[in-house]
Amino acid sequence: MKNLNLARTDFPVVSSLDNLEVGRIYTTNDPKILKHLKYNRGTKSGYVPQRVNVLKKMIESGEFYFDVCHVLLNLKGQVIDGNNRKKALSDMSKPVNFEITAQPQFNLPDTSEVLNNVSDYNAINSSWSDNDAFTSALEFGEPTAVKIDSLKTWLENEHGMSASMFTSGRLVALALKSVGGLAGKKQTRRTYCSQEIADLMSTPDFKKLLLFCVNVIKFAQNNNSSIEPWFVIRGLLPTMWTKELGFNIVLKNLRKKGLKDLSTTLMRGVKARALEILKMGNV
């Protein structure tokens, strides 16, 4: 395969960020002048090593073609977008094309709010995972992130529930009664900065909901190990929320109906059984 050029190389070459024009593309052979924005993407480094390695292999094989602009900076010279590209090109001693933006959302005095806007900016793709957004917000002591961290500790220490079962995104979905969130819809960093969601998570009703989920998960694990326990939660909760069905009666009906005869881990099979359980009534 013929190797592709890494975009244009006819931009002004610079070795510092002094006196550069906003909105103009420049090239540098010294990526160290492109400053780091801490906890962009949830990590101190701001990049994901696995993704960097993939990019490097793709560049070497000619399978990847960079756009004209590799990296976007704010007025402080901090990398807003393109950390992985910057790292890959730097490791390979290749030039980096960059542009400085004056967009207000990336040039606020509040760094945490800048990171919220960076997260929103990247929400259209997979750049920020739920864990990236959560970790970044937690580092700044944002309300929902701090509350989630304490709830995860409580769930693990008191009920043996791992973070893989009660992910940050799932806890937000439970607090907001979000069906899409239960199915894995990604949260932005801004979500983990919300005082309103943190307040919802601090109510007695939310803790009752978590205890219900713990009981359902443990029942599912003991009753049929081939079933993904969270599928059962996803099958039960939307209808329960709509019809305001009580936790105790649903658990009682779940135990009556059981899950043993389900031979599939597909969501449709678990959802069908969940509907059977819910049709048993709230009596």
Sign of the Cα torsion 191, 195, 199, 201 reads: positive
Dihedral of the alpha carbons of 113, 196, 175, 160, in degrees to the nearest 10: 70
Residue listed under structure tokens 């009920």? 159
* CA angle, 135 then 139 then 143, to 5°: 85
| Tens digits of residue pLDDT in 41-80 | 767 777 888 888 988 988 887 766 666 788 999 999 999 9
Tokens of 78: 């901090």
pLDDT bin (cut points 50, 70, 90) of residue 10 is: confident
Of all residues in the chain, the percent with pLDDT exceeding 70 is 91
Rounded Cα distance between 112 and 132, Å, is 14
The two most distant CA atoms of the chain are separated, in Å, by 75
The DSSP code sequence of the chain is -PPPP-S---SPEESS-TTPPTT-EEEES-GGGSB--TTGGGSSS-S-HHHHHHHHHHHHHT-----S--EEE-TT-BEEE-HHHHHHHHHTT--EEEEE---GGGS-S-HHHHHHHHHHHTTTTTSS-HHHHHHHHHHTT-HHHHHHHHHHHHHHHHH---TTTS-HHHHHHHHHT-HHHHTTPPPPGGGGG-HHHHHHHTSHHHHHHHHHHHHHHHHHHHH-TTS-HHHHHHHHHHHHHHHT--HHHHHHHHHHH-STT-----HHHHHHHHHHHHHT---
Backbone phi and psi for residue 124, each to the nearest 5 degrees, phi listed first: -75, -10
Mean pLDDT of the chain: 89
Is the full-model pTM beyond 0.75?
yes
Percent of the chain clearing pLDDT 90 (strictly above):
61
Q: Minimum mean pLDDT among 58-62, 66-70, 105-109, 128-132: which range?
A: 66-70
Residues 127-136: what's their mean pLDDT?
87
User: Could you read off the pLDDT of 211-257 as tens digits, one per residue?
Assistant: 999 999 999 999 998 889 999 999 999 999 998 899 999 999 999 99
